[in-house]
Amino acid sequence: MNAEPRPLSVLDLAAMKAAGRRIVMLTCYDAAFARLLEQAGVDVLLVGDSLNQVLAGHETTLSTTLDQMIYHAASVRRGSRRALVFVDLPFLTYQVSIPEAIRNAGRVLQESNAHGVKLEGGSHMAETVQALVERGIPVIGHLGLTPQSVNALGGYRVQGRDNTSADRLLADARALESSGACAIVLELVPAQVAARVTQALAIPTIGIGAGPQCDGQVLVLHDMLGLNEQFAPRFLKHYAKLGESVRSAVRAFATEVREGAYPGKEHSFE
């Protein structure tokens, strides 16, 4: 009988980079999908504030609350045994002050049993990252397109296209690494810039729309499964077309109900 794989730790992320093993990350919002993703070999389950868009139908992540994140993170954690679980800190739960960031990140770990948090921003967030790490809260950084700043960035645009912004992105990445971040998500960044950042850091980079040379990749689960059919940016690959599968299954159920074919005798109790 095969022994169950040991749970991953935050230290494994740097070890995976050193060994050249690519890190697999997907967003996850509930226990059912957490079990399935873990069984399929996903290394990191990211409870993203994208749940505000994917599950609640909002246009941006900005109105996601800390209580929402904790509820979904606790659900994911109950469904996982091996994978690391990181949780996005929502907008304005960590930017106002370092004490507030510590308090809110601490709530996430205490109430959800997650392994760490993710926050957006570069050099200006380095002191906050350091304060969290010093208090035993692992942090993943997020650079490039930062969805919580979508209004300031003028929309969902590729970042780091010119030399100045590329140099700034590298400086931000180094600042986050120096502050103790255990990994950095690079979103919507030119492949050459992401490769440069990846080569410069000892901690892993995890790309989304950042080319193939990052140390790992992340996608929003519902996007890659084809459940969010209206969303089709260049970087996204659909690995399934579950939207049509769901419609087909529901149509079959509806037909059988209307025709009296379901439930049959085999589905009924005497």
Identify the pLDDT of residue 153. 81
Q: Which pLDDT score, from 0 to 100, does residue 167 have? A: 98
User: Residue 210 domain-assigned?
Assistant: yes
Residue 165 lies in a domain: yes
Instruction: Determine the length of the chain.
Output: 270
| CA neighbor of 181 nearest in space, from 104, 117, 106 | 117
**Are residues 229 and 196 part of one domain?**
yes
pLDDT, tens digit, 9 for 90 and up, residues 245-264: 999 999 999 999 999 999 99
Confidence band, pLDDT 50/70/90 cuts, at residue 230: confident
Residues spanned by the domain of 269: 241-270
Residues 95 and 223 in one domain: yes
pLDDT of 156 reads 84
**Range 98-115 average pLDDT:** 98
pLDDT 10s digits, 24-57:
999 999 999 999 999 999 999 999 999 999 999 9
169 pLDDT more than 60: yes
Report whether pLDDT(120) > 90. Answer: yes
Q: Is the pLDDT of residue 3 over 80?
A: no
Contact between 133 and 139 (Cβ < 8 Å): yes
Q: Is 113 part of a structural domain of the chain? A: yes
How far is it, in rounded angstroms, from Cα 232 to Cα 225?
Answer: 12
User: Out of 12-16, 56-60, 193-197, which region has the weakest mean confidence (pLDDT)?
Assistant: 56-60
Domain contains 5: no
Q: What is the mean pLDDT of residues 104-117?
A: 98
Peptide bond into 263 cis (omega under 30): yes
Q: Which residues are catalytically annotated?
A: 187
Residue 4 is predicted with a pLDDT of 73
Euclidean distance between CA atoms 104 and 107, whole angstroms: 5
Reference 144, options 198, 88, 187, 190; nearest CA is 187
Backbone angles phi, psi at 253, to 5 degrees: -60, -45
Residue 40: its pLDDT value, please? 98
Our CA angle for 50, 193, 199, nearest 5°, is 100
Confidence band of 2 (pLDDT split at 50, 70, 90): low
Is residue 190 domain-resident? Answer: yes
Name the E strands within the chain. Answer: 23-27, 44-47, 84-88, 116-118, 139-144, 183-187, 205-208, 216-219
In a 10 Å sphere around its CB, with 0-12 CB exposed, 13-18 middle and 19+ buried, how is residue 211 labelled?
A: middle
Task: Indicate the number of domains in the chain.
Answer: 2
